[in-house]
Amino acid sequence: MDNIKLFNATVALVFERCFNAFPNRINLDSVPLAVEIAELYPDEILTETKNDLDHEAMVVFDSIRWLIDAGYLWSRATTTNLSLLDVVLSPKGFEVLNSVPDALNSKESIGKLLSKGIKKLSSETINQIISAAITIGLSKSIG
């Protein structure tokens, strides 16, 4: 799976988890998230077995760190084993997930669409949702 598709799947899964848990903080472990994504896209994983997902787990971890650096999430700590602790949506992330962008042709917010579970969404739909979310977040950053 290419890094962009893995990034989009990670962002969708993390947004889903954080939105459903909000305002509670959650822990995110990149390895189980990588396994879950691998199960969603079994034909696209680069590794030979689901037990060898080092590349995917690192992309998942770096994707979550990017969401933190870009201001969508807050986290109190990271561990040495690719986990992030006490993760919660930031005000920016919460606002983005409560947005209803015209581009998605839906009356539901991004958070509601994702909260149904990414297993029910096509790869193309996930890409559209995450693209809309990042675009909205960028417009919030610029002013």
| Distance, CA of 12 to CA of 138 (rounded, Å) | 17
pLDDT in tens, 88-122: 999 999 999 999 988 888 899 999 999 988 888 88
pLDDT in tens, 54-95: 889 999 999 999 999 999 999 988 777 899 999 999 999 999
Would strands 26-29 and 73-74 be described as parallel, antiparallel, or unpaired? unpaired
Residue 12 confidence (pLDDT) above 90 = yes
Going from the C-alpha of 120 to that of each of 3, 73, 124, 140, the distances in angstroms are 21, 24, 12, 29
From 11, 54, 18, 41, select the one nearest 123 (Cα to Cα): 41
List, in sequence order, every residue forming a beta bridge with 78; answer none if it has no partner. 84
Q: What percent of the chain has pLDDT over 70?
A: 92
* pTM of the complete model: 0.90
Backbone angles phi, psi at 12, to 5 degrees: -60, -45
Q: What percent of the chain has pLDDT over 90?
A: 66
